[in-house]
C-alpha cells in the first residue's frame, strides 16, 4: 500500500467509526436487514461465509442463526470487540485478505458497504482476491456507493473517504474479476449478487 497510516484514506475512515460505535450499531441495526437473510438462504446449509468488514457483527449473528459458519474480518478495534459477541472475528485489513485466508475456503463472501472507503484499484484487486477465496460456484454479495462524489466527506461522526461507482462501473468490475452477476439492486448504493464462474 502506497499510503502511510497517517494519510491512508482507509485507516482514517475506519478509525472514525470508533467515535461512537454503539450509536453506529444502533443506527444501522435494521439497515438493509433483509439482505443477509436472503444471502443465507441462497447458499447450501452449513456454509462457511466470510463477512468482509463485518462491523459490529450484526450479519455474523444472522448467518450463525441460519445454521452457517461465518467468520468476520474488520480493521476497527471497537467493532472487532463488539462483533466477537456473535462469532469468530479476525483483526485485519481487507486489502490484505489474500494473504490472510486460504484459497477456496469459503462458500460465500459477504461485503455489505465494506468496500466504500477503498479506492477503485484497491476494490478491483480485492474482488480478484475474494474470487480466489471462494469455492467453485460460491456466492458473493457486495454493495458500494453509486451516487455522490468520490473523495472526503465530513460526517457528524467523523471524516471518511468514499469511492463512488456510477452507472454500471461496479458490475463491470465484478464481471472483470470473474463473477457472474445474478441480480442487481440499484439506489444510492448498488448491490450486486453474483457467483464465482
Tens digit of pLDDT for each residue in 91-116?
A: 999 999 999 999 999 999 999 999 99
CATH architecture of 9-196: 3-Layer(aba) Sandwich (3.40)
Give the pLDDT score at 27.
Answer: 72
Give the single-character DSSP code of 164.
B
Q: What is the pTM of this model?
A: 0.92
Domain ranges for the chain, please list them.
9-196
E strands along 33-188, which residues?
A: 48-52, 69-74, 88-91, 106-112, 134-145, 151-155, 158-162, 179-185
pLDDT digits (tens, 9 = 90+) for 142-193: 999 999 999 999 988 889 999 999 999 999 999 999 999 999 999 999 999 9
CA distances from 136 to 69, 139, 178, 179 (A): 18, 9, 11, 11
Amino acid at each position: 500500500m502506497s499510503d502511510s497510516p497517517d494519510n491512508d484514506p482507509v485507516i482514517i475512515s475506519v478509525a472514525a467509526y470508533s467515535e461512537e460505535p454503539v450509536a453506529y450499531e444502533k443506527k444501522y441495526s435494521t439497515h438493509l436487514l433483509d439482505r443477509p437473510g436472503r444471502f443465507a438462504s441462497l447458499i447450501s446449509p452449513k456454509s462457511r461465509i466470510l463477512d468482509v468488514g463485518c462491523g459490529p457483527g450484526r450479519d455474523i449473528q444472522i448467518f450463525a442463526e441460519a445454521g452457517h459458519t461465518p467468520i468476520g474480518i474488520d480493521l476497527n478495534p471497537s467493532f472487532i470487540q463488539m462483533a466477537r459477541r456473535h462469532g469468530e472475528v479476525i483483526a485485519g485489513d481487507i486489502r490484505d485478505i489474500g494473504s490472510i485466508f486460504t484459497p477456496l475456503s469459503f462458500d460465500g463472501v459477504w461485503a455489505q458497504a465494506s468496500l466504500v472507503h477503498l479506492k477503485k484499484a484497491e476494490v478491483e484487486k480485492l474482488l480478484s482476491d475474494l474470487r480466489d477465496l471462494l469455492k467453485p460456484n460460491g456466492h458473493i454479495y457486495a454493495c458500494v456507493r453509486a451516487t455522490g462524489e468520490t473523495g472526503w466527506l465530513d460526517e457528524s461522526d467523523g471524516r471518511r473517504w468514499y469511492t463512488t461507482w456510477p452507472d454500471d462501473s461496479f458490475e463491470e468490475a465484478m464481471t472483470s474479476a470473474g463473477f457472474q452477476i445474478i441480480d442487481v439492486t440499484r439506489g444510492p448504493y448498488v448491490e450486486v449478487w453474483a457467483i464465482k464462474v
